[in-house]
Amino acid sequence: MDLKLTGKRVLVTGGNSGLGAAMVRAFAAEHARVAINYVVHPEQTAQLAGQLRAGGGEVLELAADVTQANDVAAMFRKIDGAWGGLDVLVNNAGIDGTRAMAWEADTAAWNRVLQINLVGAFLCAREALKRMVPQRSGVIINTSSVHELIAWSGYSAYAASKAGVSMMSKTLAQEAGPYGVRVLCIAPGAIRTPINATVWQDAAGQQDLISKIAIGRVGEPEDVAGMAVVLASDVAAYVTGSSVLVDGGMTDYPAFSHGG
Ligand code: NAI
Ligand code: BGC
């Protein structure tokens, strides 16, 4: 199926690693123009951009810390300069944060998770909407998580940030819908990336993770990237304000396949 993304102008935040890098590749494979935002590892970004350019892709490499409004505004100005606007924003940058029970939590660390995952997504969405609303088209995909729904002991900041991203998305979808702009969440389950490498690289950790997934395997970044390109396309023209779970059935609670 032709998703008709050829030439579309796409920005992926945190696009040099894990899910972001897979989404960058997937959009480039659909012949979209892709801006890779990064805050660390410029060499990783350059390597990915180089591979895509070698295949004929049009790629920008844009350094910006998504928590910094000035950085974000400057990044969007660079996109304006190169492409005259944006069609798709994927808010992907995020961190789990350090595991800590609330009564042991460091408030600066707790706030940092909210700043990156929620405030960073808002700052980028705001700049994108400034452009998409007047042009009366555009799609914003926010990366939430199954933890917008499932509580996660030791990660109260993370779960709160992802629930916040979900409700922020619904609200922005309401605001932007009349202008032809869609805003939605992609909500992955456990996907094999650097964010959770300490879990899936450990045999017992991997087994525990798999026991939480109905399909019985940890997800791959491509499982999420494929859905992202579909959601960005007109195939999903009637999808807005919702969260699309890509979780192998983690929210199907496989622990209930026995007992209960
Ligand atoms: P990752 O650690 O490979 O990628 C995270 C990216 O965000 C990196 O490129 C990192 O440099 C970037 N980033 C962090 N702080 C930033 C900042 N201030 N400004 C700009 N970029 C920043 O991890 P992964 O798994 O690819 O995570 C991507 C997103 O997917 C995150 O929002 C995460 O919460 C979410 N997610 C991941 C799941 C998984 O199982 N891997 C499941 C559900 C959601
Ligand atoms: C987290 C991962 C975790 C997964 C399932 C994601 O939101 O970023 O570290 O493995 O949820 O719990």
Q: Does residue 210 form part of some domain?
A: no
Taking 90 as the threshold, does the pLDDT of residue 1 lie above it? no
d(CA 88, ligand 1 centre) in Å: 18
Taking 90 as the threshold, does the pLDDT of residue 200 lie above it? yes
Nearest CA owner, ligand 1 atom 10: 14
Q: Does residue 260 form part of some domain?
A: no
- Under the banding of pLDDT at 50, 70 and 90, the label for residue 190 is very high
Q: Does residue 233 form part of some domain?
A: yes
Domain interval for residue 226: 9-194+220-251
Q: Give the model confidence (pLDDT) of 214-247 as tens digits.
A: 999 999 999 999 999 999 999 999 999 999 999 9
Q: Does residue 201 form part of some domain?
A: no
- Under the banding of pLDDT at 50, 70 and 90, the label for residue 81 is very high
Q: Is 179 a catalytic residue?
A: no
Task: Label the pairing between strands 181-188 and 243-246.
Answer: parallel
- Under the banding of pLDDT at 50, 70 and 90, the label for residue 195 is very high
CATH number for the domain including 133?
3.40.50.720
> Of the residues 158, 179, 238, 253, which is catalytic?
158
CA distance 62 to 48: 13
Q: Does residue 229 form part of some domain?
A: yes
* Cβ < 6 A, ligand 1 pocket: 13-14, 16-20, 37-40, 65-67, 92-95, 116, 120, 143, 145, 188, 190-191, 193-196
Number of separate domains in the chain:
1
Cα Rg for the chain, rounded, in angstroms? 18
User: SS in 3 state form for the chain?
Assistant: CCCCCCCCEEEECCCCCHHHHHHHHHHHHCCCEEEEEECCCHHHHHHHHHHHHHCCCCEEEEECCCCCHHHHHHHHHHHHHHHCCCCEEEECCCCCCCCCCHHHCCHHHHHHHHHHHHHHHHHHHHHHHHHHHHHCCEEEEEECCHHHCCCCCCCHHHHHHHHHHHHHHHHHHHHHHHHCEEEEEEEECCECCHHHHHHHCCHHHHHHHHCCCCCCCCECHHHHHHHHHHHHCHHHCCCCCCEEEECCCHHHCHHHHCCC
Q: Does residue 203 form part of some domain?
A: no
Q: Does residue 258 form part of some domain?
A: no
Q: Does residue 208 form part of some domain?
A: no
